[in-house]
Structure 1
Amino acid sequence: MKNMDNPENLAQCPFRGTRVGGAMGKSPQLDDWWPNRLQVELLHQEQPVANPLSDENYKEAFNKIDLQELKKDIKAMLVDSKDWWPADYNNYGPQMIRMAWHSAGTYRIADGRGGAGQALQRFGPINSWWDNGNIDKSRRLLWPIKQKYGASLSWADLIVLTGNCALEIMNFPTFGFGGGRRDAWEPDRSTYWGPEFWNGKPFKESKVGEYYDGHPEEMVTQNLRWKGEPSDPNRDLENPLAATHQALIYVNPEGPGGNGEPKDSAMAIRESFKRMAMNDEETVALIAGGHAFGKSHGMASADKIGPAPEAAPMQAMGMGWQNSEGTGFGKYTMTNGIEGSWTPDPTSWDNNYLINLFKFEWEKTESPAGAIQWTPKDPNAPKTPDAHEEGKMNDLMMMTSDIALKVDPAYNEICQKFLNDFEYFTNAFSKAWYKLTHRDMGPKDRYLGPEVPEEDLIWQDPVPKRDFDLIEEAEITSLKQNILDSGLSVSALVSAAWSSAAIYRDSDKRGGANGARIALEPQNNWDLNRPDELNKVLSTLRSIKDDFNGNQSGNKRVSLADLVVLGGCAAIEKASKDGGFDVNVPFTPGRTDAIAEQTDVESFDWLKPVSDGFKNYHNDKVGYNIPAERIFLDRAQLLTLNAPEWTVLTAGLRVLDQNFDHSKHGVFTDRPGTLSTDFFKVLLSMDYEWVPQNDREMLFDIRDRETGNIKYTATRCDLIFGSNAQLRNIAEVYGADDGKERFIKDFVKAWDKVMMLDRYDVKDD
């Protein structure tokens, strides 16, 4: 065995991409050499081989749990303080609320990423964000519960349920709980969390001028995601981000950039919480409700705190932020640097947070760690008991983000409503907490357990329950023929079906064809959906639906949602037959039609892509500086596509004339509307050269090498399948002479996958 004290041996590793051993660091990787390379491998995360429970049916396992017994176990743990991490006020409830909140609070509405759904809080980078300081201890406290229930209880469900139990033991009535979250088994490498570099140190210790990992081009605390100064009412936060700075969940509690200005803080809060899908009332309810419990910790200076979990030494066993001040825990605990509690009774649900916020004037002070916080000016203001020293009383504390609720007129008005009606406030916080912790779960069909509320909430994008019998094979065949005989083109039918289904995003399980929201505002008027053509298709399909349903003597019915998908399937069968192959495109009936009252137009409008390579659509007005093909990769991942599925769907949609504006970019065929491998034949041919139309290199002319004539035009989202090494090798499979039948088969399979992505009513997620 090699002597690992020898530096020469430390620098050698059988995995050649890594050099180990202290400051020796890391040798260049593929993305260091070619930083602009499209990372197609991001489509292949979360492989079954990474999941030791891939053979388990989680839905069945969870439903066998006695939920009340599980909650009893959790609640007993919450009041059983441990010497290695003693509970504040002998109650772990407040810190468990923070754990659940921060797990769910990464959710953002722009792309649906983040949230509690996979317990990604267990992995980097999230587990090491300074805003998640010491949450690693909360999960360790929960390990005996997880150990007892094993594969039947995911960490994702346990984290949220523990937050609910914590609220309940402190006399707060929760709205409900739905299980069904599946754990991730590896870090999320695809989500874009922001442009800033970050050195992993506590926020207070990271100074402007320090560099991340030796990169001088961007400074640690330079906030690059905002356009405009903190006091600028028109400042804008980069899409799709929601947190106001790297390593934060929401906003800096000391104000933007730690400036201590409540008005600036209010603007940041409003933008951040809006990006988290919360309106003003929900925002105030969450802040005021959450701060009714527990305390903040700032008894040690940042230079006393060790590295975050991902950089902690091996002997720390995955726990970070080791504190060398005093015992390192209890009264010496350090998280965000702010010290104190908001209320005189931090383990009971009451309205004292708002009462004290408005009853007293507050002056700016500093915590022992040097953080900005606020203290009552009135020396007779109530005190709060110390979390660990019996008999000791401390001043109340407010953060700059708390004072923001008082100085902002709209937030102030909501606070007054909550102050005057504690029952209303309780209900508002209860529903807002439920939304926060369930927002990324998608349809209620995914919710498990006896505490799922009966009430449908508009943010769940509800669809009516089916109350009719399903159509069968004979009716399906007849309806397909009626659709094809209607005069609607293959291109129009495919476009309507794809536009309906392909806005699905697996990040928060929103979108999809079920509900037929393609026929409702705002989706039916999105420019990328060819609205004029779309509404002609919908009008024709409604007539077919009415004729069919009106002629049924029994309870058999067909929905518009089903007809939209069936029309696409029929069109693909025709397009394939025109290309020389007879195929049967799978179709599963049972979708229902939502109504306008079940659709939150403002929230649903966030599902509109800013760029969609499947349709060669790119909204330049948004101002993205990201190449279109990278956003295209993101779209493919949101649809859970692997690289071959992405490739065949793009090629098929091009020859089926699916560009949003009917342009001919990428339509490398002389027979549009026929399902063929023509896209690959042109893409891979050396008979052509590919010439950018201008310096932007967004559009390209495909010129005949011999004559110089322009044969076709293309976008970056077309040429990436020939320029990227991984995608080109896939394209060669389908572009080969023996690849035609394989292409048709794989296209149909991928098409059906997309049509079924949101069918949680019939599939086991």
Structure 2
Amino acid sequence: MATATRTFTRALRTSARPAFAAAPRIAFRQSGRRFYSSEPAAKKGSSAWVWLVGAAAVGGGGWYYLNQQGSALPKVFKPKFEDYQAVYNEIANRLEENEDYDDGSYGPVLVRLAWHASGTYDVNTKTGGSNGATMRFSPESDHGANAGLKAARDFLEPVKQKFPWITYSDLWILAGVCAIQEMLGPDVPYRPGRQDKDVSACTPDGRLPDAAQGQDHLRNIFYRMGFNDQEIVALAGAHALGRCHTDRSGYSGPWTFSPTVLTNDYYRLLLEEKWQWKKWNGPKQYEDKKTKSLMMLPADMALVEDKKFREWVKKYAADNDLFFKDFSNVVVKLFELGVPFPEDTPQWVFKRVNA
């Protein structure tokens, strides 16, 4: 069954997306209750979620209409739900345009971009967060935790050129929302209104998690953002997506057998597989004893070594629906860190394109 599942999923990921694709994709997710989502696949290189412009005129973006002679008319374009849905659709239709990129999808690296753009928030100083897109500038773009994210920013640049009214800050988060939903994850509500900032707003290095550290470090990093233990574990479930690269984080390999489909397999694998230190010349990481094709980082293993974290790992491993509910809630919180939304800002759930 598992081999057939892998073959079926691979076909879906490289097909031209026929109209009936949605039903098999959902069936695939539902079939993964007794077995892992797929068998080990041939190693390629997806984006790891390392530990874990236009002239914008108004809040969520604005653009002046041009007349036939090309001069600006004094009317500001105020984007509506349909305009953001069009941006979502553009991203969704391009996610798998390059089958040679990592595991065939830009989805994981877009999730990582949105995460790292948001995870710099400091609840005490009210600095950082998704309101600014300051990773466009050095030194923030050169921070070690952001290695490889140029691929995500470059991927989104044509989208920005096509929809110049949207801010980079809103675009990056919208791309993360799109990637999660299109990779069979839960619905992720979205609010527009982030504004871009200049280089002076760049945050210092060290605000994102270090994969080599343990539970004390994780709590220090995530408590600074305003998260609790349950939320830390729920966010870690995004490691079901993507993989690590030696030329980025220094680590190598995927966390799960299906790095372009969001499931609770990350938690199940943490508990059910036997893990051992990988013998290689790279930084310390774990490999699964059975296939030696999966990896876990020291910060991942901290979730099962710490008693409080482990209780939530067990709950999410046993209940994919609970994981989806909690993950959606916490990722919305993450993506909105540092954003001063007006009270009347709408919250939308976008219609999926390929999922």
TM-score bin, normalised by smaller chain: 0.7 to 0.9
Structure 1 pair 424–449 and aligned structure 2 pair: CA distance change class (3 A): closer
Equivalent residue, structure 2, for 1:270: 219
> One-letter code of the match for 2:219?
R
1:376 aligns with 2:288: yes
Separation (CA, whole Å) in 2 of partners of 1:353 and 1:395 = 14
5 Å matches for 1:452-463?
A: none
CA contact (8 A) 1:119 1:155 kept: yes
Instruction: Determine the structure 1 residue equivalent to 2:47.
Output: none
Identity, % of aligned pairs?
29
CA apart distance, 1:349: 1.8
Task: Note if contact 1:172-1:349 (Cα within 8 Å) is conserved in structure 2.
Answer: yes
**Who is 1:750 aligned against?**
none
SS of residue paired to 2:285:
strand
What residue identity is the alignment partner of 2:169?
A: A
Determine if the alignment matches structure 1 residue 435 to structure 2 residue 328. Answer: no
Q: Offset of 1:54 from its aligned partner?
A: 6.6
Structure 2 CA distance for partners of 1:366 and 1:182, relative to 1, 3 Å: farther
Q: Secondary structure at the match of 1:363?
A: strand
Q: CA offset at residue 181 of structure 1?
A: 0.7
Please say if 1:164 is aligned against 2:113. Answer: no
1:294 aligns with 2:236: no
TM-superposed CA distance for 1:438, in Å, is: 0.8
Residues 38-84 of structure 1, C-alpha deviation per residue, up to 9 Å, x if partnerless? xxxxxxxxxxxxx97276673553337522222111101111118xx
- In structure 1, the partner of 2:319 is 421
User: How many correspondences in the alignment?
Assistant: 283
Residue of structure 2 in register with 1:112 after alignment: 126
Q: Residue 759 of structure 1 aligns with which residue?
A: none
SS of corresponding position for 2:278 = strand
In structure 1, how many angstroms separate the alpha carbons of the residues matched to 2:167 and 2:275? Answer: 43
Q: 1:344 aligns with which of 249, 254, 257?
A: 257
Does residue 1:93 correspond to 2:95, yes or no?
no
Check 1:366–1:183 CA distance in 2 against 1; reply closer, same or farther (3 A cut).
Answer: farther
Q: Are 2:62 and 1:149 aligned?
A: no
Cα offsets for 1:430-476 (capped at 9, x unmatched): 10000000122234526356449xxxxxxxxxxxxxxxxxxxxxxxx
**Structure 1: unaligned runs, 5 residues or longer:** 1-50, 194-246, 256-264, 299-333, 384-393, 453-765
The Cα offsets for residues 485-512 of structure 1, whole Å up to 9 and x where unpaired, read as xxxxxxxxxxxxxxxxxxxxxxxxxxxx
Provide the secondary structure at the position in 2 that maps to 1:414: helix
* Pair 1:74 & 2:85 matched: no
Change (3 A) 1:424 1:54: closer
Secondary structure of the 1:253 match is coil
- Call closer, same or farther: CA 1:364–1:447 in 2, change over 3 Å: farther
Q: Take 2:271 and 2:202, find their aligned partners in 1: how far apart are those partners?
A: 43
1:251 aligns with 2:232: no
Q: What are the residue-to-residue correspondences of 1:196-211 with 2, within 5 Å?
A: none
Does residue 137 of structure 1 match 2:151? yes
Structure 2 counterpart of 1:372, which letter?
Answer: K
Q: What CA distance in whole angstroms lies between the structure 2 residues aligned with 1:450 and 1:349?
A: 21
Aligned match of 1:363: 276
CA distance in 2, matches of 1:251, 1:190: 17
Decide whether aligned partners of structure 1 residues 278 and 64 sit closer, same or farther in structure 2, where only a CA change above 3 A counts: closer
Q: CA deviation at 1:108?
A: 1.3
Q: What letter corresponds to residue 123 of structure 1 in structure 2?
A: F
1:182 aligns with 2:190: no
What amino acid sits opposite 1:61 in the alignment?
K
Return the letter of the residue paired with 1:292: A
- The answer for the alignment partner of 2:302 in structure 1 is 404
Q: 1:146 to 1:408 in 2, by over 3 A?
A: same
Does the aligned pair in 2 maintain the 1:296–1:336 contact within 8 Å?
yes
1:114 to 1:56, Cα distance in 2 relative to 1, 3 A: closer
Contact 1:337 1:367 in 2 (8 A): no
Change (3 A) 1:160 1:189: closer
CA 442–52 in structure 1, closer or farther in 2 if over 3 Å, else same: closer
TM-score with structure 1 setting the length? 0.35
Distance 1:55 1:375, change over 3 A: closer
Shift of 1:275: 0.6
Contact 2:167–2:196 (CA under 8 A) maintained in structure 1: yes
Q: What is the SS of the residue equivalent to 1:375?
A: strand
SS in structure 2 of the partner of residue 445 of structure 1: coil
Aligned equivalents of 1:72, 1:340: Cα separation in 2: 30
Amino acid aligned to 1:250: L
- Residue 336 of structure 1 deviates from its aligned partner by 0.6
Report how far residue 131 of structure 1 moved.
Answer: 0.8
Q: Distance in 2 between matches of 1:52 and 1:135?
A: 22
Cα deviations across residues 554-589 of structure 1 (Å, max 9, x unaligned)?
A: xxxxxxxxxxxxxxxxxxxxxxxxxxxxxxxxxxxx
The whole-number CA distance in structure 1 between the counterparts of 2:120 and 2:259 is: 25
Output the CA distance in 2 between the equivalents of 1:190 and 1:154. Answer: 17
Distance 1:446 1:80, change over 3 A: farther
Larger relative contact order (C-alpha < 8 A, sep ≥ 6)?
A: 2
Which has more radius of gyration? 1
Q: Deviations over 1:600-651 (max 9, x none)?
A: xxxxxxxxxxxxxxxxxxxxxxxxxxxxxxxxxxxxxxxxxxxxxxxxxxxx
Question: Could you report, residue by residue, the CA deviation over 1:88-147 in whole angstroms, capped at 9, with x for unpaired residues?
Answer: 111110111111100011111111110111111111221110110011121111111110
Q: Which amino acid is 2:286 matched to?
A: W
Counterpart Cα distance in 1 of 2:202 and 2:106: 33
- Deviation of 1:367 (Å): 5.1
Q: What amino acid maps onto 2:238 in structure 1? A: G
Aligned 8 A contact 1:67 1:449 in 2: no
Distance change >3 Å, CA 155–CA 360, structure 1 → 2: same
CA-atom RMSD in angstroms: 2.2
**DSSP 3-state at the match of 2:196:** coil
Give every structure 1 segment of 4 or more consecutive aligned residues whose post-TM-superposition deviation is greater than 6 Å. Answer: none
Match of 1:636 in 2: none
In 2, the alpha carbon distance for the partners of 1:107 and 1:75 equals 27
**1-side partners of 2:279 and 2:133: how far apart?**
34
Describe the shift of the 1:140–1:443 C-alpha distance in structure 2 as closer, same or farther (beyond 3 A).
closer
Is 1:53 aligned to residue 52 of structure 2? no
Aligned mates of 2:225, 2:133 — CA distance in 1 = 17
Is the Cα–Cα contact under 8 Å of residues 131 and 249 in structure 1 kept in the other structure? no
Distance 1:271 1:55, change over 3 A: closer
Alpha-carbon distance between aligned partners in 1 of 2:268 and 2:98, rounded to the nearest angstrom? 30
Q: Does 1:447 align with 2:345?
A: yes
- CA distance in structure 1 between the partners assigned to 2:298 and 2:269 by the alignment: 15
Helix, strand or coil: the match of 2:163? helix
* Whole-angstrom CA distance in 2 between matches of 1:343 and 1:52: 39
**How many Å separate the matches in 2 of 1:424 and 1:159?**
26
The one-letter amino acid paired with 1:163 is: G
Gaps of 5+ in 2: 1-52, 63-76, 351-355
The residue identity in structure 2 corresponding to 1:111 is: T
Residues 189 and 348 of structure 2 are in contact (CA less than 8 Å); yes or no, is this contact kept in structure 1? no
